[in-house]
Amino acid sequence: MNALIAGLRRSWPLLLVLAPLLLLPVGRTAELPLVLMAGAGLVLGLRRRIDWSAPAVWLAPALFACYWVPALLSTAAAVAPAKTWSTVAVTLRFLPFAVFVAWALRDAAQWPRLLASAGVIISLWALDAWLQALTGWSLGGPAERERISGVFGAGNLKLGPTLAVLAPFVLLAARTRCGGRGLAVAMALLALPILLAGSRAAWLAYAIVLLAVLWRHTRDARRFLWSGAALALAAAALFAAAWHGSLRLDARVERSLLVLHGTEQAIDQASAGRVRIWRTAAAMIRAQPLTGVGVRGFRYAYPRYAAADDAFVDTSSDTGAAHAHQIVLEVLSETGL
The tens digit of pLDDT for each residue in 111-164 reads 999 999 999 999 999 999 999 988 989 999 988 777 899 999 988 889 999 999
Q: Is 308 helix (H, G, I), strand (E, B) or coil?
A: coil
The chain-wide mean pLDDT, for the chain, equals: 89
Buried b / exposed e along 28-50 (16+ C-beta atoms within 10 A): eeeeebbeebbebbbebbeeeeb
Is residue 325 scored above 80 in pLDDT? yes
The rounded distance, in Å, linking the Cα atoms of 329 and 5 is 50
pLDDT (mean) for 44-61? 87
Is residue 271 scored above 70 in pLDDT? no
The rounded distance, in Å, linking the Cα atoms of 36 and 40 is 6
Neighbours of 89 (CB within 10 A): 10
271 vs 212, residue with greater confidence = 212
Domain ranges within the chain, ordered by starting residue: 2-104, 110-245, 273-335
The CA radius of gyration of the chain, in Å to the nearest whole number, is: 22
Report the percent of the chain where pLDDT is more than 90. Answer: 61
Range of lowest pLDDT (196-205, 247-256, 276-285)? 247-256
